[in-house]
Amino acid sequence: DSLGFYDPIRDPGIMSVDVDKAVDWIMKGAQPTETARSILAKFGVMKKVHELKYVKEAGEKAE
């Protein structure tokens, strides 16, 4: 399953990420390396994961 690609050789580097797939994998427990985490953060993946995890938890606690 491909989440995207990164080509650092080109100037500027070319990146592509399937945000929905990346979020799904992280929500299932995948742990990206620091480098992968940095790239995913540039695409808003880590923010979306944070919102899904912690906003959902806060909503469950309020009920």
Statement: residue 30 has pLDDT above 90: yes
The pLDDT of residue 60: 66
What's the chain's average pLDDT? 88
53 vs 22, more confident: 22
Predicted model pTM: 0.75
At 11, is the pLDDT very low, low, confident or very high (cuts 50, 70, 90)? confident
* Residue 39 near residue 17, CB atoms below 8 Å: yes
* Residue 19 near residue 27, CB atoms below 8 Å: no
All structural domains of the chain with their residue ranges = 4-62
At 48, is the pLDDT very low, low, confident or very high (cuts 50, 70, 90)? very high
User: What CA–CA distances, in Å, run from 24 to 12, 15, 27, 44, 52?
Assistant: 28, 19, 5, 13, 10
